[in-house]
Amino acid sequence: MMIPALFVVTVVLIYPAVRTIYLSFIDVTGFKETFRFIGLDNYRVVFEDGGVSRIILNTVTFAILSLLVATPLALFSANLLNRSFRGRGVIRTLFLIPWITPPVVAAAIWKALYSESFSPINGLLMKLHLIDKPIAFLGNTDWGFGPVSIPMISLVLMNVWSIFPFMMIMFLAAMQNIPGELYEAATMDGAGKRRQYFSITLPMILPVLEITLLLQGIWQWNNFNSSYLLTRGGPLDLTNLLAVKVYSEAFINFKFSYASAIAVVMFLVSLIPSVLYIQRTSKEIK
């Protein structure tokens, strides 16, 4: 009974992964496979390429900013929805809309919101006299601080909108498993809502918080949809991410070996926090 599942896993996951590692050690350009073993040359090119270094910095910045904004937003939302009020079920469902919206649809919506000519955001800011002319959210190359630019900030905001509902649901589920007796005892001891939150809620949901951040960190490190659908990595590679770089090198420039080397590097980086987390949790179980 396991054979069909094992076959699917092998075809969809294992074979492509092994094939990617194999391609990263040989010379393949275009559709010509020479089977010439070149060792670590592709990896050397990856680390010597200044463009890739910049994209790595973009990817790290994108992932960190997304988590820094989405995590407190998700915690705040989960704490609010954990309270009992009328219409709570409907509100919870509405909060899930960004998460279940298809990436293509989400990108189209945010492109309209960021449009320099028709953006309602620009219209509101100009009506409030906060700006004199429309902001090119996806095309401004004049302002920036390292990898942080207006297009990158715009990309992060769209990404936060799409990922925080999942984090919120995880945190909310953890909060609902906290025994009510703990809060009753804290109230009797004179602890206020703020003290209860930081002394009971956060410590009790810490395991869920850790695994959620780990998963989201890996997913954002490998994020493809946000950058590709919204900006195609532009302008001037300001929003280009590693996953988009792999796609461009493999399916636009047909440098399959080079793209495979970048993909393997991405995998190894993703593996590090996973291994550390597994080791730590294993020690705690023992």
Q: Please name every residue paired with 33 in a beta bridge, in sequence order, or none if there are none.
A: 28
Residue 6 lies in a domain: no
Residue 171 lies in a domain: yes
In this structure, what CATH number is given to the domain that contains residue 55? Answer: 1.10.3720.10
CA dihedral 172, 173, 175, 177 (to 10 degrees): 160
Domain, as residue range, for 34: 23-285
Residue 55 lies in a domain: yes
CB–CB of 167/74 below 8 Å?
A: yes
Provide the residue-wise pLDDT of the chain in tens; the chain has 286 residues: 888 888 888 888 889 999 999 999 988 766 666 667 888 999 999 989 888 999 999 999 999 999 999 999 999 999 999 988 888 888 888 989 999 999 999 999 999 999 988 888 989 989 998 888 888 999 988 888 889 999 999 999 999 999 999 999 999 999 999 998 999 999 998 888 899 999 999 999 999 999 999 999 999 999 999 999 999 998 889 999 999 999 999 999 888 899 999 999 999 999 988 888 888 777 766 5
CB–CB of 99/166 below 8 Å?
A: yes
Residue 13 lies in a domain: no
Residue 42 lies in a domain: yes
Residue 261 lies in a domain: yes
Residue 62 lies in a domain: yes
Number of domains the chain contains: 1
CB–CB of 147/57 below 8 Å?
A: yes
Residue 259 lies in a domain: yes
- Tokens representing 35 are 């089977």
